[in-house]
Structure formats: structure tokens, C-alpha cells
Amino acid sequence: MLLGGLAVMVAGSADRGRQADEWSTYRADAKGSRALYLLLDELGYEVERWHRDLTLLDEDIDLLVVIGRSGLPSAEVAGVRSLVEAGGASLFFGEAPEQLAGLHGVRLVEDLEAASNLGLRGEGNAERVVGVVASLVAPGARVAFDESAHGFSASRGIAAYIADRALGATVLQLLLLALFAIWSIRRGPARHGGAAEAPSRASGADFVQAMAEVYRKGNHRSHAADRLLAALERELTSRRGADPEAVAASLAELHEQCDRLHGTRSGDRELLAFARAVARAGAS
């Protein structure tokens, strides 16, 4: 009963956002599994989201949770097998590869709904799911939820995150504005006599607006954001003499900031303030 109440609480706290694919731990409606992720976190498991291919699993993952995947590629099946043979475990909801059937450390829960936010609210469901997890690993274990097939592959990175989370044209315009500001400053005064003519603020704003509109109508958010972020990283590294890894870490911070703020009432305002700070840092 206590676990059931806790499941209802975390399912309620997760009740926001529908942009992720079904069964994703980022998704908080009936078809998401965010509640299970939060429930295990509350119970003391070291939960994380795995965005990389399953052929690249860390050997120190204690439990891999795979929800709602079918037809797992043979290479990824081999990756899961290697994890299990190294002492880890894997829990599948809905369907498990036949190649892993009977392998010690692999467990299948055929009821896919049991992992859903709605399913955990059912009577006794939370206890049963937690019982299966506890039979494989103890609290404190590293539990990785597979997100690589739910639209959150690591190879897509922050650019795809911006597109998937529908952060809109505002962030895109801010990035364009940051690049435009850096470009304007780097031009400097004219080499042949006198100062260069100051760029028109109105024309600059028109340029940003026009480019954002082109990308918006063409639905090229991911491509545009990818190029802008790559250019911004190069400019910041060149202008400020920063270590490329430090710049990459700053952009990774933006990714985590987006994840933390997404769906909160104040999130949009904080995100805009954060993006403007990036623009000011690049122009200074």
C-alpha cells in the first residue's frame, strides 16, 4: 500500500509533457514511464537514462531496463548479452529478444502497461514491478533506462533535443542573434581609413527574423540548431581562448538546464535568461 501511494505521488509529479515517444521516461502521460523512473529513484536506486546504442553499454551498469522495444537489432542483443555475462541484469517490459531467453539475469514482464505511468497507479502494480526489480538488484544499484529508441539518441545531441522538445523559434532566434553579435564585433573597424559603418540594428533584427522564419517553415529546427551550436562553439573557443572541452561542457550544461526547466511554469523565462547570458558571453 505504501508503494502504491508513492507510485501515485510520483506519477502525479511527473504529469507534464507529451513530446517524447511512448514508453519514454521523459514522457509523463499515460503512455510514458517517467513514474517508474522516479519511483526507483525514490527507493534508493541510482537511476539514469541511457541515450547511446546498446552496443556501447557500460559494464558497471547493474540493471538495464528496456521498455516497449521490439525487434532489437542483433548487435544490440549482443551488447545486452555481454552486460549480463559480465554480471549485470536486464529487465524487459513487453517483449524480450528470443536470443536472450533463459539467460540468467534477464527478466521479462510481458504486461507492457505495468511500466506505464497509468499502470503503476493500479492496485498492487507498483509492488509487483518493484518486486521484480528487487529480485535482480538491490537499492543503490546503478539502473539505466534505455532511451536510445525513444527519440533521445546521444548521437542526435542537444540540437535534436531542441527540436524534440519544441522549444520553438525563440531559442533559434537567440542563437542567431548571438552569432550575429559575435560576427559584428569580430569585423572590427574598417582597415582603410575611418571606422566601419555601424551595422543597422533594424537590418540585423530583420535578418534574424527572416532566417528563423525560413527554418520554421521548412521544419529544419534540428539541422539549423546543429549548425548554429557548432558555429557558436567554434566562435567561443576562438574568441575566448577556451578549452574546447570546457566549451562543450558549457553547452552540455544548457542541455541539462533545458531538461530541468522543461515543463515548469518559470522554465521558459529562466531558459530565455540563460540563452541571453550565452549570447552576452560570446559577444564580450
Residue 57 in this model has a pLDDT that exceeds 60: yes
8 lies in the same domain as 142: yes
* Structural domain ending residue among the three candidates 124, 146, 168: 146
pTM of the model: 0.53
Backbone angles phi, psi at 242, to 5 degrees: -85, 155
Q: pLDDT tens digit string along 132-169?
A: 999 999 999 999 999 998 865 554 445 555 555 555 55
- Residue 191 belongs to some domain of the structure: yes
Q: pLDDT tens digit string along 229-263?
A: 666 666 666 655 556 666 566 666 655 655 554 44
195 lies in the same domain as 122: no
- Residue 205 belongs to some domain of the structure: yes
Q: pLDDT tens digit string along 78-103?
A: 999 999 999 999 999 999 999 999 89
15 lies in the same domain as 131: yes
The answer to whether 17 and 262 are in contact (CB under 8 A) is yes
- Residue 152 belongs to some domain of the structure: no
10 lies in the same domain as 131: yes
Is the CA virtual torsion 263, 269, 273, 275 positive or negative? positive
More confident residue, 57 or 246: 57
The answer to whether 186 and 239 are in contact (CB under 8 A) is yes
**How many whole angstroms separate alpha carbon 120 and alpha carbon 122?**
5
200 lies in the same domain as 141: no
Cα 143–146–151 angle (5° rounding)?
A: 145
DSSP character string of 14-56? T-----SPTT-TT--STT--HHHHHHHHHTT-EEEEE-S-GGG
The total domain count for the chain is 2
**How many whole angstroms separate alpha carbon 64 and alpha carbon 25?**
13
Q: How many residues does the chain have?
A: 284
- Residue 95 belongs to some domain of the structure: yes
Indicate the helix (H) or strand (E) that contains 142.
strand 142-146
67 lies in the same domain as 181: no
Grid coordinates representing 145 are: 533506462
217 lies in the same domain as 134: no
100 lies in the same domain as 190: no
- Residue 241 belongs to some domain of the structure: yes
Backbone angles phi, psi at 145, to 5 degrees: -95, 125
Residues linked to residue 66 through DSSP beta bridges, in sequence order: 92
176 lies in the same domain as 253: yes
Backbone angles phi, psi at 36, to 5 degrees: -65, -40
* Structural domain ending residue among the three candidates 86, 116, 146: 146
> What pLDDT score does 155 carry?
47
Full residue range of the structural domain in which residue 74 is found: 2-146
Q: Are strands 63-67 and 106-109 parallel, antiparallel or unpaired?
A: unpaired
11 lies in the same domain as 136: yes
Say which DSSP state 155 is in.
T
178 lies in the same domain as 126: no
Question: Could you tell me which of 258, 38, 231, 278 has the C-alpha nearest to residue 160?
Answer: 258
Angle between helices 221-240 and 157-164 (to 10 degrees): 140
- Residue 203 belongs to some domain of the structure: yes
- Residue 258 belongs to some domain of the structure: yes
Grid coordinates representing 188 are: 572590427
168 lies in the same domain as 208: yes
* Structural domain ending residue among the three candidates 146, 179, 196: 146
3-class DSSP assignment, residue 237: helix
- Residue 151 belongs to some domain of the structure: no
> Rg of the Cα trace of the chain?
23
Mean pLDDT of the chain: 74
